[in-house]
Structure 1
Amino acid sequence: MKILILCTGNSCRSQMAHGFLQSFDDKLYVRSAGTHPAEHINPMAVSVMKEAGIDISDHIPVDVENYIDEPWDYVITVCSNADATCPSFKGRVGKRLHIGFDDPSKLSGTESYVTGEFRRVRDEIKNAFARFYLSEIKKVELPHCTCE
């Protein structure tokens, strides 16, 4: 199973999603990329992922053009900009999904506030990709929320 996760900078949200998804199943071929990749991964993303027991410190931002010719079972965008500007893939794409998250790297404020927001987004990514993994990859039927 080949999964590509896209964001704009490929420095934060897509890298966290990549880390979580790979941790769920090391048999998956997971890559992440950006439509306009940053120079390096966001240090706060590395830090909050370490807190969750996942080391993404060796990840580097990659341009989506590196993967454009490959076939993918899933291409998943995690930010609205990447969703809107997702390129047309020359290779086959089984399913294209959007699972969006706030961008904690754009925040300013106290260190405590910014760190808290990175943790919040990290946890949202973990939960959303766990649901994706269970429902799409493992084909486990999950209960629907009847919350208001």
Structure 2
Amino acid sequence: MKFAFVCVQNAGRSQMATAFAERERSARSVDDEVDIVTGGTQPADHVHEEVVDVMREVGIDLSSRTPREVTPAELDDADYVITMGCSASDVCPATFSGENRDWGLDDPDGEGLDAVRAIRDEIEERVVALFDEVGAETRANE
């Protein structure tokens, strides 16, 4: 199973989603079964400071992460391409072999900490729900 978390700058929402997915993957002991990739179409030069701050509040350090460009091959290889507030067709012209979902989240860049916390909490809930859903589907197909 491969998840791709994508947004334009890869400096906020997709970084939070990736960090929560990595935590969830570890908590569920599925490190060998779930691959996670993140990237953007126009990566920023650093993760937004307000995002680093609110993630630190929940014990996750994003200060050393660097936004990166996502490739069409990475997206094509993903089972789930999760965009943060734009459709997959806006992100990359690749045809996806998996499922695309747009979470329609507000951009945290330049927002106050309370707004960024709300975005963070929504992302965390969505990531947990995605892992619950995929786990249930996997068990049903066994």
For Structure 1 versus Structure 2, the TM-score category normalised by the shorter chain is: 0.7 to 0.9
1:35 alignment partner in structure 2: 41
Higher relative contact order (CA 8 A, sep 6+): 2
**Alignment of structure 1 residues 6-21 onto 2, 5 Å:** 6-21=6-21
CA distance in 2, matches of 1:30, 1:57: 19
The Cα shift of 1:19 comes to: 0.5
Q: How many residues align?
A: 129
Runs (5+) with no aligned partner, structure 2: 138-142
The equivalent position to 1:76 in structure 2, one of 57, 82, 85, is: 82
Q: Where does structure 1 differ by over 4 angstroms across 4 or more consecutive aligned residues?
A: none
The equivalent position to 1:52 in structure 2, one of 50, 58, 62, is: 58
Contact in 2 for aligned 1:8/1:79 (Cα 8 Å): no
- Aligned partner of residue 96 in structure 1, secondary structure: strand
CA distance in 1, matches of 2:119, 2:49: 15
Contact in 2 for aligned 1:35/1:85 (Cα 8 Å): no
* Cα root mean square deviation, aligned: 1.8
CA distance in 2, matches of 1:76, 1:93: 13
The equivalent position to 2:91 in structure 1, one of 86, 89, 92, is: 86
Contact in 2 for aligned 1:14/1:78 (Cα 8 Å): yes
The Cα shift of 1:44 comes to: 1.4
TM-score of the superposed pair, with normalisation by structure 2:
0.82
Which structure has the larger Rg?
1
TM-score of the superposed pair, with normalisation by structure 1:
0.79
The Cα shift of 1:49 comes to: 0.7
**Counterpart of 1:10 in structure 2: which amino acid?**
N
1:99 alignment partner in structure 2: 103
**Counterpart of 1:75 in structure 2: which amino acid?**
V
2:140 alignment partner in structure 1: none
CA distance in 1, matches of 2:63, 2:36: 16
Runs (5+) with no aligned partner, structure 1: 108-113, 141-148
